[in-house]
Structure 1
Amino acid sequence: MVTLLLDSSRLEVVLSGAEKAMAFRKRNIEIERDTIDRVQLVDDAWTWLRGIPQPGTHLRGIVAMGTWRSAAADDFVIARRHRKGVVIDLVGHPEFQRVLLTTRHGLELVKALRLDVQGEPTDVIDIVADAPSS
């Protein structure tokens, strides 16, 4: 499962070694916060796939990882089975128009993005846990 790190200026999607290999990617995904247009929590991330993997790994209904290219856009995808996830729509990102991830921590991501985060990049789970209750 990906780790989501956030600081005041960017969100980093930290990929495991296996995820990097299956996504044919050497680096993590870095997203400047000002390029995030919308974040949606979804019940089945698989239904949001569009296009074909180029490069990427696709085992129908089991795993989809990598860059998904369509006529409309390029998306980055890390999806396992038919699980809950998050869809991050981007504007002005140099590589992708959307990032699609299966994660149990989508709600924490949404909450963390609403907070003023300072210091070193921190896991969104920790950011939300340490936030003062309102």
Structure 2
Amino acid sequence: MARLLVDGGEVVVRLTWWERIVTHHRELRVPLAAVARVAVEPVAWRALRGVPEHGLLVPGAVSVGDRRHPAGRDFVAVRLPRRQPVVCVDLRAPAPYRRIAVGDADAERTAERLRAAVAEQGAAERDTPPP
């Protein structure tokens, strides 16, 4: 399944080979500065908003790809029967997605790493003098 990582100043979604095929993405990269909120949703289906637009949906089993809703688009990589919690990363404009939601067996730890990276990025930006 997909994994959420921090690489430099970006949140990265690393996809498995089959997720790359169905989503037509090699990986997703979003600047840490675009992250508005990181939360853990214990019930996977609650992290899904809108309707599938592109990717793979097997009802009750898996949802991977783009989902469209009135506020924009989300990218999801969730396996529903595993009852895994989902890390939800809410994003600010001009990010291409409003939310990235990825199932993760160790969701709390992943969310904490992301929150720490976002806080560190924010502190670094505040400490940098204007040009």
Normalising by structure 2, report the TM-score. 0.79
Residue matched to 1:48 = 47
| Aligned 8 A contact 2:78 2:103 in 1 | yes
Residue matched to 2:69 = 70
Identity of aligned residues (%): 27
Residue matched to 1:39 = 38
Q: Which one has the bigger helix percentage?
A: 2
Gaps of 5+ in 1: 118-134
Query: Structure 1 residues 38, 18: CA separation in 2 closer, same or farther (over 3 Å shift)?
Result: same
Residue matched to 2:92 = 91
CA distance in 1 between counterparts of 2:109 and 2:90 reads: 17
Aligned structure 1 segments of 4 or more residues deviating by more than 6 angstroms: none
| Aligned 8 A contact 1:39 1:110 in 2 | yes
Q: Look up the equivalent residue of 1:17 and give its one-letter code.
A: W
Query: SS at 1:95's partner residue?
Result: coil
Residue matched to 2:124 = none
| Aligned 8 A contact 1:77 1:99 in 2 | yes
CA distance in 2 between counterparts of 1:14 and 1:105 reads: 16
Q: Look up the equivalent residue of 2:103 and give its one-letter code.
A: T
Residue matched to 1:9 = 9
Q: Look up the equivalent residue of 1:104 and give its one-letter code.
A: A
Q: Look up the equivalent residue of 2:10 and give its one-letter code.
A: R
User: C-alpha offsets along residues 6-37 of structure 1, whole Å, 9 cap, x if unaligned?
Assistant: 13411111001111123x22321101101010
Task: Give the superposition deviation at 1:93.
Answer: 4.0
Query: SS at 1:110's partner residue?
Result: helix
CA distance in 1 between counterparts of 2:39 and 2:112 reads: 12
